[in-house]
């Protein structure tokens, strides 16, 4: 199956830009997202497979934090880990309030809620026909880079 969105072609789980560059398989990005969220103590991450239910995206990743700051930290970590893997969000929404942050990676849309907002909007119930996927966490890079790296101003990364 082939489909194109904003210059990207999806084919058999791999993304390829029209310039010929390849991206990691979608399932690897799902594992990176879940791992990064758990690294910031995200609560109850859920992956919904929307491929046969709707056409807005292939997967939703839904999780929540217990404070606005934690919600932002989860979003920051997901963005950092996927950026190191060569993937940047197509769209980011809701960061300043930190109650519901949306990271749109085209094939994967990540919803990071404050606990109260997750209960209020209940996306898992809204998309109840979508199968839930079990995604095993994978190793992710340490915060701020590898050991021994230094900041531009010369101080070590802590």
- Domain of 127 in residue numbering reads as 7-133
Give the tens place of pLDDT for each residue, 57-107: 999 999 999 999 999 999 999 999 999 999 999 999 999 999 999 999 999
Asked if residue 154 is part of any domain, the answer here is no
* Tally of domains within the chain: 1
Sign of the torsion formed by the C-alpha atoms of 14, 19, 20 and 22: negative
- Per-residue pLDDT of 118-137, as tens digits, reads 999 999 999 999 999 998 88
Please report whether residue 156 resides in a domain. no
pTM for the predicted model, two decimal places = 0.76
| Cα 46 from Cα 77, distance rounded (Å) | 17
Contact 132, 46 (CB under 8 A): yes
Nearest alpha-carbon partner for 106 in 6, 37, 1: 6
> Is the backbone of residue 132 left (phi > 0), alpha (psi -120 to 50) or beta?
beta
Residue 117 maps to which CATH number?
Answer: 3.30.460.10
Query: Cα angle vertex 81, ends 140, 106, to 5°?
Result: 125
Is residue 157 a part of any domain in this protein? no
């Amino acid at each position: 199956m082939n489909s194109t969105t904003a210059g990207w072609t999806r084919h058999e789980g791999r993304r390829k830009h029209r310039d010929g560059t390849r991206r990691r398989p979608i399932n690897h990005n799902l594992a990176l997202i879940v791992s990064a969220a758990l690294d910031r103590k995200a609560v109850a991450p859920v992956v919904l497979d929307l491929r046969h239910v709707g056409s807005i995206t292939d997967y939703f990743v839904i999780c929540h934090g217990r404070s606005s700051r934690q919600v932002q930290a989860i979003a920051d970590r997901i963005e950092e880990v996927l950026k190191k893997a060569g993937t940047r969000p197509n769209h980011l929404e809701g960061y300043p309030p930190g109650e519901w942050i949306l990271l749109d990676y085209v094939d994967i849309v990540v919803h990071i809620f404050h606990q109260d907002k997750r209960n209020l909007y209940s996306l898992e119930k809204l998309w109840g026909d979508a199968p839930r996927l079990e995604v095993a966490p994978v190793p992710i890079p340490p915060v701020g880079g590898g050991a021994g790296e230094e900041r531009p101003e010369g101080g070590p990364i802590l």
